[in-house]
Amino acid sequence: MTICIEPDATALARVAAEQFTNLAGEAVNARGVFNVALSGGSTPKALFALLASEEEPFRARMPWTRTRFFWGDERHVPPDHPDSNYRMADEALLARIPVPADRVFRIPAENPDAAAAAAAYEQTLREAFHLQEGQRPRFDLVLLGLGPEGHTASLFPGSEAIAETVRWVVAPWVAKFNTYRITLTPPVLKHAAQVTFLASGGEKAEILRTVVEGEQRPEEFPAQSIRPTDGELTWLVDEAAARLLRRKE
Ligand code: 6PG
């Protein structure tokens, strides 16, 4: 596990954009495609804006037509809903870059049946990655955030999804928000070549220390369950979020 501590959220977004574009170039050189699972919430917005910006070097570096966008989770709302992770990414990035529509694999969260949406997305992954029986999707990069109570993607404390070992996408009921969510499960998230958590701000300091330096209790702190089995784990954080960390790598 690598912990990169940047001075502030702006510097954090830049380091994330450097990693994003580097991984994209490596993946496209190696396999002709870059498969990335985006996270939701607010932290990634600054990264997405940098990637899309015509004033920054990242946009020109990116092999956009060979990049395929997926999501680690989605709220159970239509894509034009203010809470939609897809909508956030579309507004901050996708609508501003030359990416073909058939390279954007949105979770169909408009389906009133969240479980059916999860099953449909699992099929989308199976087809998109041309998987044989027994194989799992392997993302080149999975971006994740850290919730204040230790959730990541839509794996919330106490969720059965944390211990899921077979299904790749599930639709847990999230009592905290009184709603269903659709989320990739640890077997897929952990199978990525690179898992990068983004955490910014003093309000994340306590939970970041607990998740990164505390004892392993993934049922209680689901972010701890995403430890790559055959890949790299990086925490990109800012000074404010890292305030309580003992080890300053
Ligand atoms: C979501 C995200 C969620 C998010 C964390 C952190 O759907 O909300 O996938 O896991 O990454 O809650 O959110 P912030 O970046 O807004 O702090």
Contacts of 109 (CB under 8 A, 6+ apart): 74, 75, 76, 77, 78, 79, 84, 86, 117, 182
What integer pLDDT is reported at residue 248 of this predicted model?
58
3-state secondary structure of 169: strand
> 73 in ligand 1 pocket by Cβ < 6 Å?
yes
Residue 185 C-alpha from the chain's centroid: 12
Helix 85-92 × helix 44-52 angle, to 10°: 30
Tokens of 85: 């992770």
Please classify residue 176 by burial: count the beta carbons closer than 10 Å to its beta carbon, then call 0-12 exposed, 13-18 middle and 19+ buried.
exposed
Residue 96 C-alpha from the chain's centroid: 20
Q: Which residue has the CA at smallest separation from atom 13 of ligand 1?
A: 41
Please identify, by atom number, the ligand 1 atom nearest to the C-alpha of residue 154.
10
Q: How far, in Å, is the centroid of ligand 1 from the Cα of 153?
A: 7
> 183 in ligand 1 pocket by Cβ < 6 Å?
no
Spell out, as residue ranges, where the chain has pLDDT lower than 50. none
Please classify residue 135 by burial: count the beta carbons closer than 10 Å to its beta carbon, then call 0-12 exposed, 13-18 middle and 19+ buried.
exposed
What integer pLDDT is reported at residue 133 of this predicted model?
87
d(CA 246, CA 244): 6
d(CA 89, CA 85): 6
C-alpha distances out from residue 134 to 78, 123, 166, 227, Å: 32, 14, 10, 20
Q: Which of 81, 107, 146 to mutate to test the pocket of ligand 1 (most atoms within 8 A of CB)?
A: 146
> 40 in ligand 1 pocket by Cβ < 6 Å?
yes
User: What is the full DSSP assignment across 25-91?
Assistant: HHHHHHHS-EEEEE--SSTHHHHHHHHH-TTSSHHHHS-GGGEEEEESEEESS-TTSTT-HHHHHHH
For the entire predicted model, the pTM comes to 0.97
Q: Which residue has the CA at smallest separation from atom 11 of ligand 1?
A: 145
> 67 in ligand 1 pocket by Cβ < 6 Å?
no
